[in-house]
């Protein structure tokens, strides 16, 4: 029997698979949180999830609305102060992966969550960086998950909130005490990874039933494809079941039905 799944489900399952049991993951709210908790509930039950509010080894039954959601503290092994979270855990080199989302991303994996348009007269003001700039600087590596569209995948972000590899791909070159930066970008269409030399994002895997043309149409620059382009494995029945149950519990809880 052929399993049916949405592009969003494909994205979350693929992003979840990027995490492993031995990782300590600093989790962003939204799509990263969905993927990280799906990993914890499926193939990586020992993954350590931490959130910006100071919760360590968090195991929420529902997805939090924000870092201040009580579910995070209630389900955590312990909660530390925010200064300790950043100074000891993050800056101390104890975070293996930062898992982030974004409003805009460009060819060098720079992220914008500050504003759209001109800095002095923006069209839209966004929530800001939060802890993302520090996460991208100090985590050993960064995973990014975001929906794929020309509004999001732009030639150059309007404002660099969180540095990927800078405007020229060289921002991390010869900089001591800094992480590797973004190592994978997972969207609802494909998987992208930075070119080892130029650091420009390159499509390495297309999701099932997604064409090159669809990715080209959804990207704001002349996107490159790997020579050995792969097809991303489809979600399993178990992964889909766990994800759907998680989202159903979350929806019911936030609607006051649980």
- The whole-angstrom separation of Cα 67 and Cα 37 is 14
Q: Which long-range CB contacts under 8 A does 3-6 form with residues at least 24 apart?
A: 3/234, 3/235, 3/236, 3/237, 3/240, 5/234, 5/235, 5/240
> What's the Cα-to-Cα distance from 19 to each of 12, 64, 176, 220, rounded to whole Å?
12, 19, 26, 28
Options 9, 52, 134, 239, the catalytic residue: 52
Distance of CA 120 to the CA centre of its chain: 28
Q: Is position 52 annotated as part of the catalytic site? A: yes
- The whole-angstrom separation of Cα 223 and Cα 153 is 10
> Looking at the annotation, which residues are catalytic?
52
């Amino acid at each position: 029997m052929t399993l049916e799944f949405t592009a969003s489900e494909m994205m979350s399952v693929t992003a979840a698979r990027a995490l492993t049991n031995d990782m300590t993951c600093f989790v962003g709210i939204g799509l990263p949180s969905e993927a990280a908790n799906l990993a914890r509930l499926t193939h990586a039950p020992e993954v350590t999830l931490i959130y910006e509010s100071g919760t360590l080894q968090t195991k929420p039954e529902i997805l939090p609305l924000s870092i201040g959601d009580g579910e995070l503290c209630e389900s955590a092994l312990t909660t530390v102060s925010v200064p300790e979270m950043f100074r000891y855990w993050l800056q101390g080199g104890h975070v293996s992966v930062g898992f982030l989302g974004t409003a805009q991303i460009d060819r060098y994996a720079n992220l914008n969550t500050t504003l759209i348009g001109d800095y002095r007269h923006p069209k839209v003001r966004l929530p800001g960086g939060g802890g993302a700039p520090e996460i991208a600087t100090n985590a050993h590596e960064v995973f990014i998950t975001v929906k794929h569209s020309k509004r999001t995948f732009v030639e150059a972000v309007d404002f660099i909130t969180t540095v990927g590899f800078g405007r020229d791909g060289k921002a991390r070159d010869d900089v001591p005490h800094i992480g590797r930066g973004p190592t994978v970008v997972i969207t609802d269409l494909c998987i992208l990874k930075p070119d080892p030399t130029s650091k420009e994002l390159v499509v390495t895997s297309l999701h099932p039933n997604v064409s090159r043309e669809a990715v080209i149409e959804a990207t704001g620059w002349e996107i490159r494809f790997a020579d050995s382009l792969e097809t991303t494995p489809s979600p399993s029945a178990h992964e889909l079941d766990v994800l759907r149950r998680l989202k159903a519990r979350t929806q019911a809880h936030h609607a006051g039905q649980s």
